[in-house]
Structure 1
C-alpha cells in the first residue's frame, strides 16, 4: 500500500496518531480524546432545541429537553443536525476550555404554512394559515372519552366533523358521506379505516404521531376526497436511541419499538391484537352489541339457542427511514390489517346435530415508498409510490333457506407522484408535479342453490398535472396559495380543470381572516345493494365510476372564516357552502321507499361552525356549535329533501385539567336527531308495501352523550415510565337511537327496527415505555 494509506490505516486501528512531518520523518503520539458540551438554541426564538443529533466520526449524542449535550470524541469537527434547522459543522476550537458553549442554529425554510391558532381545543391541535388542522400527538393534551390518541376519533372533536353512527368508518365532514373522504397514511390511500368494523381506528397511535385534517382549500397535489382529507403520518425524525413500549387495554394488547440502525437510519415497528380470544371484557361486549344492533344477527342470537359470535382483529405496521446523506432521504412504510367475524350456529335438524358458521373478513395490505432530495437551497424534489390492497369477504350460511351465499369486494390501487418545490429569490414558492393512479375493483357474488355466479372487474387510470404558487407579504401578515390541477380519466375519456385557493390575512393584532375554495372529483364510491349484504355488518362495497349508473363525483365548495385570539381566549367562526354532484341513491343507504331505487343526484350543504375556547395555565375549556342545512336533489317525487346525514344543530362542550403528570378531561356531545322516514299512521301498509310519508320528513330523538377521560404518568426508574389511562364513553347511559327502519315480516305485519349507539362503555389501559 502507498505510505499515506498505511498511515491512515494505522490511525484507525491503533490508539495512536501518525503525522508525516517531512519526507522520511513521521511523528507518532498518543491519541487525544476531547470532551465537549454545549447548549443548542434557536437563533430566532432563543428557545432550546430538543433531540438534535451531534455527531463526530467516532461518536454521536442527542440534545436533551434543555438543548444540552455532552460528547466524547477524538475528532476535531462536530456535525449538528435537526429537522427544521440547517445542518451546522462546528470546529472543536469553537468550544470554551472552561465551560459549555451556546450554539445557535438557523431555521431551515420549510413548506409548512404558519400556525395561526395554537391549541385549538387542547394542546397539540393547531390551525394552519392554509385552513388545515394539524394534530401533533407527540405533544398532545387530552379529550373526553378518548383512551389513547386515536387519530380518527380525535378529528371528530373538531367543528364540522361528526360521525352520525359513532364509528370511525363513517366520518362525515360537513355533511358528506365517509366514502367522500380521502384517507392517507404516509401518503398511501387507504380504503379501510376501522377495527371492530368501525369502532376503533386501524392506525396504531404510537406509529401515527401527527394527523392533518383538510376540510377545504386543499393543496393541488391532493386528488379524490370531495368532502375532505384526513392525512396521517409516521415520525419524520431519526432516533439515535432505542425506545419501545408495551401496553394492554380492555380490547387489545400492543407493542412498539423504534430501533436505530446506525447513525443515519432507524426502523419503527408496531403491532396490535385483540384479546377477545382470551377474555371477553365489558368493553368488548359493549362493542359487539353495538355492531350487531339492528341486523338480522341480533334476532338470531335472541331466538336461537347455540348461536354465538366472535370478533377478532390485528394490525402490524413498519416504517424504515434512511438519511442517505444531507441531501437525500428515503422512507418505506408498510401496514397489514385484518378484521374477522364469526357467527356460529349449533342446531338440531332431523334428529341430527348440525353446525354452521358464517364469517366475514376485512383486510388491508399497503406498501409505500417516499424519496426526497434537496438539490439546492432553492429546489427540492419528492418521489412517492405506493400499492394498496383492500378486501372484504363474507360467507353466509343460511340454515333456514339451506343456502350458501358468498360475497367479495376487492380494491387494488397503485399510485405514483412526483413533486418539485422551487423557492424564488423574491419569496415566491412554486409547487409543480405529476400524479398517476390506477384503481382496480373486483366484485364477486356466489349462491349455491340455485347456482348463481357473478364476477365483475373494472379498472380506471387517472393522470394529473398541477401547479401552485405560494405568496407571502413581507411582514407575513398575508399568505395565499393559488393553483390549478388538470386531470384526465382514461376510461371515462374525461378532462377536468380544478382550481384551489387558500388566503389568510391578519387583521390588526388579534384577528385573522381566511378564504378557502376548491373543486375536486373522485372515481370511487361505496354503494349498498342490499342492507343484508356482508351479513349486514359492513354492507358497503367500493365501486368505480362508469359514466352510466355510477357517474364521476364532482364537488365545489367555498368557505370564509374570522378568528380572534388574545390572552388565552379564542373565538372562531366559519361559514361554508358545498355542492356535490354525481352521487347515487345506492351510495346514500336509504332504508325507506327509495331503498331499491337506482337514481343519480346531488346534495347541497351550507352552514356555520363556531368555536369559543378559554385557556388557563392548567385548565382549558371549549364550546363548539355547528348549524347545517343539507338537502338532496334526486329525480324522486320529492325533488329536494333533507340529506340522510343532515344534523341541523350540534353542540360540543369539553374541559381539560393538567396537574403535574395527571390529565383529566370531561365533556358532552349533543345534536339534533338524524332525518328518518316513518310510515303513515293508520295506513302503514298499502298493497303489501310499507306506505311511507315524504322522505326524511321526520327526525329521530335528540342525541346526547357525556364522556370522561383520565391519564397519569409515573417514572418507575430512570429509563422506564408507566402510563395509566381510563375512559368512560356515555357515562349517563343515554339510549341514543342512531337509525330506524321498517319492513313487513313473514306474518304480514309491520316490523320496526332500531339501532342504538354505545351504552356506558368503560376502558382502561396500562403501558410501559422504555
Structure 2
C-alpha cells in the first residue's frame, strides 16, 4: 500500500511538470530516403498516422514540411516488408530507412543518418551483443515458448546453466553474477519452473542488449554480465491485440490508445496449464506446477521533448507435491515478484537529454513442508526469504559536439533482506528461528563517462563510485571503465576494454536434493562484496559476397574474480533451513555454512553471421577455461568450476521458403560439464559373526581424485521449427510447429549413484530429462 501511495504522489507531481512542459509547435523539414541493400526504392509510400496523410516518394526520396512533433510513420513498398519508424522531429532532419525484401531474412530496424556506408562496422563493440524480437521469432522453441533469454544463450561466451534452463553462465561467471533488467528495473528472479521459462513475456519484448565485459559506467552491481531487456511501447494509433496459444501456456496483450498520438496503455498476461492437467489426471497424489505473469505499461508523450512511462510487473510460481492417500503430506515452493517503475525522459536541448527512473521491487521465496498423519509425527515447516528494494536513477547525457559526448548520473537503492525466517510447529509445539538477522542496506552510486572521437579512433573512459552501507559495515568501491575502438577501414574494426566490477548482493543457490530454493543475502561485516577485473579485446570485419552481407568477429577475454561465495561441503539451502530442528547438518546460521574464494576465467569467442538473403543465421564457437579456489574446498587447491565448459559450438540457420513460410534450425554442442563423482568404489570391511573381518556386499566406500575431477558426457542437441503466416480478415497470425531435441539424444541432466541389476553393486548412472518434444502454437494479431 505504501508503494501505491508513493506512486500516486509522483504521478500527481509529474502531471504538474507536464503542464509546465507544454509549448508552441513550429514547422521542420523531414527528408527521408527509402532504400534496400541494392539502392533506392522508387515506389515507396510513407503514411503519417498522426496527420492522416500519405506521401509518395520520388526515386526513393521524399521531403515534407510538418509541425515539430512526435510521429509514427508507416513505410511500405511492393515486394518489400512494411515497417514503422518513430521520429521526434525537433529540427530539420535527414534520414535513411532500409527495407528488407520479402524473401530476405532480417528486417533492418535502425534508422540511419543519410550518407552512412552500410558496409561500415561503426557499431561494432567487442563485449556487447544485441538480440531483437524479429530474430527471436525465427528460433526454435521449447514447449512452444520463444524466449529471448534462450535465444541469447546461442551467442558466443554464453551458455545455459543446465539444459532447458533460462539461467545463464556468461564468460565463466555463475548465474548469480548476471544483472537482469526489465526496462531498467533489476529482477531478483528471472525464471519460472526450474528455469524452463524466463520472466519475459515474448509478446511484449522488443529486444535486449547483453554486456559481457567493458561495462558502461551506468551499470553496476554484478560481476559477469548485464542483460538489459526492453519491452515495446504501447501503440498510439489504434486498439490492437495479440494472442498466442501453445501446448503448455497462453499469453496475450492488448494495446489501448488514450489520447491520439500522445498516450496509450498496454496490458499483457501469461499463464501455464500444468496444474490444470495434473488435477485432471492425478489420483491420490498430485504434482502441481504453474506460473503466471502480468504487465501493465502506460506511455505519455505530451510534446516532442517529454516522454513519461509507468510499468508494473507481477509474477508468481508454484511448485508442489501433495499426497492424500492416508493423512496428508505437502511439499511446496512459492515464489513471487512484484516490480514497478516510473520514468521521465526530457530533451532539454538539441544536445542534452535527462532520464529519471524511480522503481521498487518485492521478491519473496516461501518453502513449506507439512505432514499430518494420525498417530504419527506431525509438523509444518515454513521458510521465508523476502527482499524489498526501492531505487532511483538519474542520467544526464550531453553531446558537447560531434566528437565529444559526456554521460553522468546518480543511482540510489534501499535494500531490506530477511535471509532466513524459519517457523512452524512440530507435534503441536510452535517454534520460530532466524537463520540470519534482518539487514537494511543503503547503496549509493555515482557514475561518469566521456566518449571522444577523432577520425577512426574512439575512446570512452568512465568511473563508477559505489558506496554500500549496512548498520555495521561500509564498503566503498571505485570501478574504472575503459573502452577503445579503432576503425582500421570501413569494413574492419578493433575494440578493447577493461572494467572493474563489484557485487554487494549474494545469491546462494541450492545444489542439493529436494525442492529448489535460493537465498539472497547482503554483504556485511562477515561477507565483503565480490570483485572482478575483466579484460577484453576483439575485432570484426564486414564484407559483401555478391548481394549478401557477412560479418566475422573474434574476441578474447580474461576475468579475475575475488571474494566469491559458495556453500561448504555438506551444506546447501536446505541444510541451513533445518539446522534448528534436527537436520542432518547443523550450522548456527547461514554464515557458518559458507566459504569464500577466488576464480579466474579466460577464453576466445569466434562468430560468423550472414545477415541478408533468404538463407541467414550465424555460427559461433567459444573456448574457455574457468577455475575456482576456496580455502575450505578441495584442500585449498584450484579446481574446475561447474560452469567450465571448455568447448561450445552454436549454429542457427533460417530460410525463408516463401513470404509466408520459414524454416529454422539450431544445433548446440557443449563439452562435458565438471561433476564431482567417485573415481573408484570398493566394498567396506565389516566384523563378521565370528569376530572376523569380512567384505561387505551391501556397504561401500567411495574415493575421489579431486573436486570436479570428472566430466559429464558431451552435450549435442538439434532443434527445428517452421512458421507459417496467415491472414483472417483484418487480423494476421502465425502457426509455429517445432521439435525440441529432434534427434532424441539422451543428454545427461545429472548423475547419481545407483546399483546394477545383476549383483546390485554401486554404479554411477545418469538421468536425461529432455527427450524429443514436439510443440505447436497459434498466434493471432488484430
1:767: how far off? 1.2
| Residue 463 (1) aligns with residue 441 (2) | no
Q: Distance in 2 between matches of 1:387 and 1:242?
A: 29
1:647 touches 1:671 (CA, 8 Å); kept in 2?
A: yes
| Residue 372 (1) aligns with residue 345 (2) | yes
What residue is the counterpart of 2:742 in the other structure?
A: 731
**1:440 alignment partner, one of 416, 421, 424:** 416
What's the Cα RMSD here? 3.7
What residue is the counterpart of 2:265 in the other structure?
A: 267
CA gap of 1:55–1:404, structure 2 versus 1, over 3 A, is: closer
What residue is the counterpart of 2:359 in the other structure?
A: 386
Which ranges in structure 2 are unaligned for 5 or more consecutive residues?
A: 1-28, 73-84, 97-104, 111-120, 577-584, 586-592, 686-698
| Residue 552 (1) aligns with residue 526 (2) | no
SS in 1 for 2:648: strand
1:581: how far off? 1.2
CA gap of 1:330–1:64, structure 2 versus 1, over 3 A, is: farther
What residue is the counterpart of 2:214 in the other structure?
A: 217
1:631: how far off? 0.5
SS in 1 for 2:205: coil
1:464 touches 1:486 (CA, 8 Å); kept in 2?
A: yes
What residue is the counterpart of 1:692 in the other structure?
A: 704
Q: Distance in 1 between matches of 2:290 and 2:536?
A: 42
1:738: how far off? 2.8
Deviations 1:626-651 (A, max 9, x none): 11111011113141110111001111
CA gap of 1:490–1:760, structure 2 versus 1, over 3 A, is: same
| Residue 479 (1) aligns with residue 458 (2) | yes
CA gap of 1:148–1:574, structure 2 versus 1, over 3 A, is: same
What residue is the counterpart of 1:87 in the other structure?
A: 89
Q: Distance in 2 between matches of 1:547 and 1:412?
A: 21
Q: Distance in 2 between matches of 1:496 and 1:580?
A: 15
Q: Distance in 1 between matches of 2:145 and 2:559?
A: 33
Q: Distance in 1 between matches of 2:529 and 2:276?
A: 46
Q: Distance in 1 between matches of 2:46 and 2:361?
A: 33
1:225: how far off? 2.0
**1:395 alignment partner, one of 368, 373, 383:** 368
Q: Distance in 2 between matches of 1:62 and 1:514?
A: 43
CA gap of 1:181–1:76, structure 2 versus 1, over 3 A, is: closer
SS in 2 for 1:152: helix
1:49: how far off? 9.5
Deviations 1:397-445 (A, max 9, x none): 2468643221111111111111111111353110011110111121211
SS in 2 for 1:219: coil
| Residue 137 (1) aligns with residue 113 (2) | no
What residue is the counterpart of 2:542 in the other structure?
A: 565
Q: Distance in 1 between matches of 2:337 and 2:55?
A: 39
What residue is the counterpart of 1:629 in the other structure?
A: 625
Q: Distance in 2 between matches of 1:40 and 1:249?
A: 44
CA gap of 1:690–1:347, structure 2 versus 1, over 3 A, is: farther
What residue is the counterpart of 1:41 in the other structure?
A: 32
| Residue 106 (1) aligns with residue 83 (2) | no
Deviations 1:76-124 (A, max 9, x none): 96856357645169xxxxxxxxxxxxxx84359xxxxxxxxxxxx9667
2:124 touches 2:493 (CA, 8 Å); kept in 1?
A: no
2:159 touches 2:170 (CA, 8 Å); kept in 1?
A: yes
2:451 touches 2:460 (CA, 8 Å); kept in 1?
A: yes
CA gap of 1:587–1:413, structure 2 versus 1, over 3 A, is: farther
CA gap of 1:53–1:139, structure 2 versus 1, over 3 A, is: farther
Q: Distance in 2 between matches of 1:473 and 1:236?
A: 35
Q: Distance in 2 between matches of 1:51 and 1:523?
A: 51
What residue is the counterpart of 2:506 in the other structure?
A: 525
1:358: how far off? 2.5
CA gap of 1:453–1:570, structure 2 versus 1, over 3 A, is: same
Deviations 1:132-188 (A, max 9, x none): 222221576622446454121111010111113124442111121111000000111
Q: Distance in 2 between matches of 1:76 and 1:374?
A: 20
**1:191 alignment partner, one of 188, 201, 204:** 188
Which ranges in structure 1 are unaligned for 5 or more consecutive residues?
A: 1-37, 90-103, 109-120, 286-300, 349-353
What residue is the counterpart of 2:495 in the other structure?
A: 514
CA gap of 1:589–1:616, structure 2 versus 1, over 3 A, is: farther
* Count of equivalent residues: 664
What residue is the counterpart of 2:468 in the other structure?
A: 489
SS in 1 for 2:334: strand
| Residue 580 (1) aligns with residue 575 (2) | no
Q: Distance in 2 between matches of 1:763 and 1:384?
A: 39
1:579: how far off? 1.2
1:527 touches 1:588 (CA, 8 Å); kept in 2?
A: no
2:609 touches 2:619 (CA, 8 Å); kept in 1?
A: yes
CA gap of 1:685–1:155, structure 2 versus 1, over 3 A, is: farther
CA gap of 1:80–1:184, structure 2 versus 1, over 3 A, is: closer
| Residue 669 (1) aligns with residue 671 (2) | no
1:468: how far off? 0.3
Q: Distance in 1 between matches of 2:240 and 2:300?
A: 18
Alignment TM-score, normalising by the size of structure 2: 0.77
CA gap of 1:86–1:43, structure 2 versus 1, over 3 A, is: farther
Q: Distance in 1 between matches of 2:291 and 2:243?
A: 18
**1:611 alignment partner, one of 599, 607, 615:** 607
CA gap of 1:172–1:674, structure 2 versus 1, over 3 A, is: same
2:71 touches 2:86 (CA, 8 Å); kept in 1?
A: no
Alignment TM-score, normalising by the size of structure 1: 0.79
Q: Distance in 2 between matches of 1:750 and 1:439?
A: 48
Q: Distance in 2 between matches of 1:46 and 1:590?
A: 65
**2:334 alignment partner, one of 361, 364, 368:** 361
CA gap of 1:479–1:50, structure 2 versus 1, over 3 A, is: farther
What residue is the counterpart of 1:707 in the other structure?
A: 719
